[in-house]
Amino acid sequence: MPVRPDGIILQIFPHFVINSFCGMFWAGVCAGKLFWGELCVNLGPPIFKIQLFNRFIMAYLFTPLAIRDVVLKNRIVVSPMCEYSALDGFAGDWHLVHLGSRAVGGAGLILTEATAVSPEGRISPQDLGIWKDEHIPALRKIVQFVRAQGSEIGVQLAHAGRKASTPAPWNGNKVLTQAEGGWEIVAPSPVPFNESYGTPVGLTIAGIRQVIADFQAAAHRAMQAGFKVVEIHGAHGYLVHQFLSPLSNHRKDEYGGSFENRVRLLLQIVEAVRTVWPAGYPLFVRLSVTDWVEGGWGEAECIRLAGLLKSRGVDVIDCSSGGLVPYAKIPVGPSYQVSFAKNIRSATGLLTGTVGMITSAVQAESILVSGQADLIFLARQMLRDPYFPLHAAAELGYQEIHWPVQYERAKKA
């Protein structure tokens, strides 16, 4: 039997017909080759339709994944996406429907938006929060609904740093004054994101210790709310990423300068979270693998950091990029961040997730089958189609996915 690079036995599809006029599935082709299971067919032109005649098709996208004591029913993850719809950090009806509908749609894991560990850690006044115990009941209601649909749910813990105190994006792009409901912004160094954001206050050592304590307390509240996955947000130019990159971290103390000093905050946050987060529950970290700017944070340092995170109890690296500076030139395109997940996975043995411009079932399947990542994080595609997992199963010819009983009558044979 053919075997994936990680030892997973794959099924070859024994019956297939390439047909340029009719068929069940569109197949995206990269470099003139179609990757489907271990099958690699040289096709020539860039797009073909494929018809498969095998009722019992195994789709790797729909294989379960056990991480510690938590089992995800498939490899599809709803990526954290800010909704800017909370009041004083409280989850409301919008969050229940937004996250709940993706559970009804069949995702294996659903992550909340960036959830602030402190009021000053919010991107906007409308951000979701978990900085006080009063936030727990509304979050618990969402957790219970999502899990009742057979999906797992996690919370992304975040601090915005110098990108905090801004309005919801549809209301402009600037730092809010205190009169407008804003607050003082902090960062590793007094270096603004750009001229419209204002200059942050450099964190003191006491301030850094408070940030670590805030992440730890937020993880404890997450456990009380019933979450079984925590993701620490270390990407997209927010506070943790600001400490990692020499472009934003100009400190001269033990939190700045060398690689060891710049990664210190994240390592201390992970260690603090692990003291309160159950041993059987997974811990993810989202990282921007590169700043896409010369002299900034890059892939080699990120791989080195991933090894340190693994030794401290991190289970999954959620591989993204960019967000630190507005002048980065990012080569956005289909699967443009997949190589980061592949390289971290290969170098460290950690599970990795990939995100960014993944829009089809065939594209996601090929990433997994070729051993480039273990999880597929979907953001905008899940906004366009909350039922993407159900539709992806149909696209791949996978018959074993379970629709909600309320929707069974709409399932096509």
Catalytic residue numbers read 238
In whole angstroms, give the CA distance from residue 198 to residue 141: 38
User: Based on C-alpha coordinates, what's the Rg of the chain?
Assistant: 22
Encoded amino acid at 331, one letter? P
Mark 84-96 as b/e (b = at least 16 C-beta within 10 Å): bbbeebebeeebb
In whole angstroms, give the CA distance from residue 364 to residue 335: 9
Q: Is 281 exposed, middle or buried (0-12, 13-18, 19+ CB in 10 A)?
A: buried
In whole angstroms, give the CA distance from residue 251 to residue 188: 7
In whole angstroms, give the CA distance from residue 159 to residue 114: 8
Tokens 């419209």 appear where? 196
In 196-238, alpha helices (H): 205-225
3-state secondary structure of 134: helix
In 159-260, where do the E strands start and end? Answer: 186-187, 201-202, 229-234
In whole angstroms, give the CA distance from residue 239 to residue 248: 10
Q: Which two tokens stand for residue 212?
A: 């670590």
Q: CA torsion, points 114, 120, 123, 124, in degrees to nearest 10?
A: 120
CB-side neighbour CA atoms (13 Å) of 411: 19
The secondary structure of residue 313, as a DSSP letter, is T
In whole angstroms, give the CA distance from residue 196 to residue 12: 55
Contact 305, 258 (CB under 8 A): no
